[in-house]
Chains A and B, each alone.
Chain A
Amino acid sequence: MTSPRIDAPLPGPPTDPTTPGDDPRARRLLQRRRWAGRLRVRSVSGVWRQPSVVVALSLLALWVLAALLAPLVAPYDPVTQSAQIYASPSSQHWFGTDELGRDVFSRVIHGARLSLPVAVAIVAVALAIGTLLGLLAGYIGRAVDEIVMRITDLFFAFPQIILAMAVAAAFGPSTRNAVIALIIVSWPTYARVIRSSVLSVRGSDYLASSRLLGVGPVQALRRDVVPNSVGPAVVLATLELGNAVLMLSALSFLGLGPRPPAPEWGAMIAAGSRDLSMWWVSAFPGLAILTVVLAFNILGDALRDRLDPRYARGLS
């Protein structure tokens, strides 16, 4: 009853002269991967044309500019106090002044100079740690995998902000310690994601076929594993940039972030919460956080729709 399956891919002519090996199955699989790779690059380029992404990118560009040019853009020094406390928004103080007479607009602008680099630093370090451990766990497997995964389990036993709060409280309140706390709570996510994408490559046919073609483990790591982990990592990192901004503000709302008088958005909201009638003190830093985080989330979402195969279907 066995009979030919028309569905089996028909081997095409060798289009790529560099394709190694004579095994048609392996060659086909490698070709299929290249094809997928090309498709991927093309579809990412389409992301930048979506209206929501354009809005998100413009927002981010504005904030990055604000952060870079804060001393030029901000009309006042962010920490200098004045007698004019709780002035409502006016042409002089666009966003009003706070309980110490500081210009809220200038503090919000300088807040970007604080939050954005901090978020980038948190994500960069956590991504590096997570990627390294995820690659090791996924690629070496066995005991290493078991150990790394059980350690991440411990971290996932806490809601992120709760653990961050504990770590920051133990280390003492400062920008540096808040950064350390947020790195500590966020690396396990990266490790998990990288590990699972490594495993999906490991279990797949084309790694087997590379082996068949005599590709060594290091080369396979470089050629197959790393490129396939990049997509999920980029998506996650983008979303985590927003999350880092959000969590930093939460820590400093709890009094565990940058010390006063540093213009941190979360701390500014905490200060503004003391008197509801002075709404501008907390409203504008809140909007700042909202717009930055929203931009990262929109961007991460759009990238995920395109890059992450699990989400690609059904969402485009």
Chain B
Amino acid sequence: MRGRTGRPLRSRLFHAPLARLLLRRLATTVVLLFGVTVLTFTLIQLVPGDSMTASLSETALNDPSVVAAYRAKWGLDEPLITQYAIYVGNLLQGDLGVSRQTSRSVLGDLMTYVPATLEIAIPAMVLSVVLGTGIGLYAALRHGRRGDHVVRVGSLLGLSTPPFWLALVALYVFFYLLGVAPSGGRLSSWITPPPRVTGMITVDALLAGEWMIWWDAVQHLVLPVAVLTCLTVAALVRFVRSAMLEVLDQDYVRAARAKGLPTFTVVRRHVLRAGLVPVITVSGLAFASLLSGTVLVEQIFSWPGVGQYAFRAASGLDLPAVLGVSLFVAVVYTLVNLMVDLLYGVIDPRIRLS
């Protein structure tokens, strides 16, 4: 029907629009990230008193040479616009400042803590998307009946529970009362961590062939992952449910039923496929929920990840670390949203072939 030009039909149909979409979205993402730095820079300017006092530790503030070096590095004596340029320049070089508490570079700190967070975030993400989609679809199919009501109540409860409190309740029940879960941390205290390769203990243990360590690490993972999953699923289910209800009300689903296809085929082939778009959207949402969740949950489980780092930075008023974490999260989140947008393009022929 198309493709009278010399180029192969496939490449014309599949690659050109996607590449264009990719370029367009990349451009807006870069602009957005610059905007984000303007926002954080503004925030630093709004710090009451002097941002330097909030950024340097007591001892450093008493050392005139450190103060002078700091002022020079961030261009504090320059006009605002130059300061911003210096700020972005430093950020682009990966310099997020120095943590007041650890006295190390914030980026270095983050790199140390990221693997631990990934180790709970990845399984929680996968579980959340799978469960959120499944439960949301189930509720939509049972619309107005008991199963639907149970799901609705459950998700409302999950949305209304403070994450850190849920973590605490989980720990109280499964560690303190039942004794089936460890008290927290990534490994039991008597176990020596495997040699660091990825920083994710479960992976490193597998690489080292240490099954005992792997099993111990998995046991430590269960509660944090479960709590994060519960919270995230609660948020996703509502979204998936209403998206699936909308799909179920579409004429093409009615048409598929009118063709005499079995219900299971209609759901699997027609409903779920159309539901992929909301499911992808949900993955983006799940990510935001997980990122917030880790900050509020890791501390309870003594999980040494970015969340606990953020918790300590916030409660210790370590401004460079807090802003570093925020910027880091914003960048990651924005990139995830970029991927989500591109996935739409891959999945939906209306975008892919437009």
A311 to B38, CA, bound (A): 37
- With A253-B296, A269-B164 known as contacts, the answer to whether A298 contacts B310 (CB < 8 A) is no
Which chain A residues in 149-183 approach chain B with CB under 8 Å?
Answer: 150, 153-155, 157-163, 165-173
Q: Is the CB of A153 within 8 A of B35?
A: yes
Residues of A that sit less than 8 Å from B by CB:
150, 153-155, 157-163, 165-173, 242, 246, 249-250, 253-256, 266, 269-270, 272-273, 276-277, 279, 282-283, 285-286, 289-290, 293-294, 297-298, 301, 311, 313-315
- From the candidates A159, A250, A290, name the one contacting B288 in the complex (CB within 8 A): A159
CB contacts (< 8 Å) of B171 on chain A: these are 276
Number of A-B contacts (CB under 8 A): 154
Q: Is the CB of B330 within 8 A of A157?
A: yes
Name A151's closest neighbour in chain B (CB-CB): B35
Which chain B residues in 162-205 approach chain A with CB under 8 Å?
Answer: 162-165, 168-169, 171-172, 175-176
Minimum CB–CB distance for B328 against chain A, Å: 9
CB contacts (< 8 Å) of B47 on chain A: these are 170-171
Minimum CB–CB distance for A98 against chain B, Å: 15
CB 8 Å contact bits of B207-242 with A (1 = contact, 0 = none): 000000000000000000000000000000000001
- 18 CB-based A-B contacts, threshold 8 Å: A155-B39, A157-B35, A157-B36, A158-B333, A160-B292, A162-B325, A169-B313, A169-B317, A169-B322, A170-B54, A242-B160, A249-B162, A256-B315, A276-B172, A286-B162, A294-B160, A314-B249, A315-B245
Minimum CB–CB distance for B296 against chain A, Å: 6
Whether B61 sits at the interface, judged by CB under 8 Å, is no
- From the candidates A172, A256, A270, A294, name the one contacting B48 in the complex (CB within 8 A): A172
- From the candidates B32, B156, B291, B300, name the one contacting A162 in the complex (CB within 8 A): B291
A5 to B175, CA, bound (A): 70
Q: Is the CB of A153 within 8 A of B319?
A: no
Q: Is the CB of B319 within 8 A of A289?
A: no
- With A166-B43, A169-B317, A250-B163 known as contacts, the answer to whether A154 contacts B168 (CB < 8 A) is no
- With A153-B35, A297-B160 known as contacts, the answer to whether A158 contacts B165 (CB < 8 A) is no
Minimum CB–CB distance for A108 against chain B, Å: 13
- From the candidates A171, A290, A313, name the one contacting B249 in the complex (CB within 8 A): A313
Q: Is the CB of B43 within 8 A of A157?
A: no
Chain B facing A: main interface SS: helix
- From the candidates A242, A270, A290, name the one contacting B164 in the complex (CB within 8 A): A270
Whether B281 sits at the interface, judged by CB under 8 Å, is no
Whether B334 sits at the interface, judged by CB under 8 Å, is yes
Minimum CB–CB distance for B102 against chain A, Å: 16
Minimum CB–CB distance for B95 against chain A, Å: 18
A161 to B333, CA, bound (A): 13
Q: Is the CB of B175 within 8 A of A172?
A: no
Whether B116 sits at the interface, judged by CB under 8 Å, is no
Minimum CB–CB distance for A244 against chain B, Å: 13
Whether B295 sits at the interface, judged by CB under 8 Å, is yes
Q: Is the CB of A314 within 8 A of B246?
A: yes
Minimum CB–CB distance for A201 against chain B, Å: 22
CB contacts (< 8 Å) of B48 on chain A: these are 171-172
- With A273-B300, A286-B168 known as contacts, the answer to whether A293 contacts B160 (CB < 8 A) is yes
Name B171's closest neighbour in chain A (CB-CB): A276
A314 to B246, CA, bound (A): 8
A203 to B38, CA, bound (A): 34
CB contacts (< 8 Å) of B322 on chain A: these are 165-166, 169-170
A255 to B175, CA, bound (A): 26
Q: Is the CB of A253 within 8 A of B43?
A: no
What 6 pairs across the A-B complex have the smallest Cβ distances? A255-B315, A286-B165, A293-B160, A294-B160, A166-B326, A254-B314
CB contacts (< 8 Å) of B300 on chain A: these are 273
- From the candidates A162, A256, A282, A298, name the one contacting B165 in the complex (CB within 8 A): A282
Name A289's closest neighbour in chain B (CB-CB): B162
Minimum CB–CB distance for A90 against chain B, Å: 20
Q: Is the CB of A158 within 8 A of B330?
A: yes
- From the candidates A157, A272, A311, name the one contacting B333 in the complex (CB within 8 A): A157
A167 to B171, CA, bound (A): 30
**Interface-central residue, B36, B175, B249, B289, by most chain A CB under 10 Å:** B36
Minimum CB–CB distance for A202 against chain B, Å: 24
- From the candidates A154, A250, A277, A313, name the one contacting B35 in the complex (CB within 8 A): A154
A158 to B32, CA, bound (A): 11
Whether B157 sits at the interface, judged by CB under 8 Å, is yes
A198 to B169, CA, bound (A): 44
A297 to B172, CA, bound (A): 26
A226 to B46, CA, bound (A): 34
- From the candidates A150, A161, A279, A290, name the one contacting B172 in the complex (CB within 8 A): A279
- With A172-B317, A286-B162 known as contacts, the answer to whether A165 contacts B36 (CB < 8 A) is no
Whether B65 sits at the interface, judged by CB under 8 Å, is no
CB contacts (< 8 Å) of A294 on chain B: these are 156-157, 160
Q: Is the CB of B161 within 8 A of A290?
A: yes
Whether B354 sits at the interface, judged by CB under 8 Å, is no
Name B289's closest neighbour in chain A (CB-CB): A159
Minimum CB–CB distance for B161 against chain A, Å: 5
- With A159-B333, A173-B317 known as contacts, the answer to whether A167 contacts B162 (CB < 8 A) is no
Minimum CB–CB distance for A62 against chain B, Å: 16
CB 8 Å contact bits of B28-52 with A (1 = contact, 0 = none): 0000110110111001101110000
A311 to B40, CA, bound (A): 36
CB contacts (< 8 Å) of B162 on chain A: these are 246, 249-250, 253, 266, 269, 286, 289-290
Q: Is the CB of B296 within 8 A of A246?
A: no
CB 8 Å contact bits of B282-324 with A (1 = contact, 0 = none): 0000001101100110011000000000110111111100110
CB contacts (< 8 Å) of B71 on chain A: these are none
A273 to B183, CA, bound (A): 12
A254 to B310, CA, bound (A): 9
CB contacts (< 8 Å) of B318 on chain A: these are 169
- From the candidates A158, A250, A298, A315, name the one contacting B296 in the complex (CB within 8 A): A250
Name B326's closest neighbour in chain A (CB-CB): A166
Whether B329 sits at the interface, judged by CB under 8 Å, is yes
A154 to B43, CA, bound (A): 13
Q: Is the CB of B175 within 8 A of A276?
A: yes
